[in-house]
């Protein structure tokens, strides 16, 4: 799925979401809200994340309890 350049501003990204095989090049997740679940996690496997932007660690958009750091450009 081609989601390149999409702006996810204000969207809640559910932990059950999957972006497997998607093109998220230049997608903007900086102002999206990421949910947290102990059982499920968002699947970004085989996804093009080149220049995709994510909330920084410690921001209000990052779910508390998230163990993984999301790269920031």
d(CA 29, CA 51): 11
Instruction: Tell me, yes or no, whether 64 lies in a domain.
Output: no
pLDDT, mean of residues 63-73: 53
With a CB cutoff of 8 Å and minimum separation 6, the contacts of 44 are 19, 20, 24
Percent over 90 (pLDDT), the chain:
59
Domain count, the chain: 1
Give the residue numbers spanning the domain of 3: 1-59
Reported as a single tens digit per residue, the pLDDT across 8-42 is: 999 999 999 999 999 999 999 999 998 888 888 88
> Does residue 65 belong to any structural domain of this protein?
no
Residue 69 resides in a domain: no
Residue at 68 is within a domain:
no
């Amino acid at each position: 799925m081609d989601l390149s350049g999409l702006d996810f501003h204000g969207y809640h990204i559910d932990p059950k979401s999957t972006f497997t095989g998607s093109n998220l090049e230049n997608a903007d997740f900086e102002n999206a809200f990421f949910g947290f679940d102990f059982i499920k996690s968002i699947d970004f496997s085989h996804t093009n994340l080149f220049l995709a932007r994510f909330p920084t660690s410690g921001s209000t958009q990052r779910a508390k309890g998230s163990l993984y750091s999301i790269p920031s450009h």
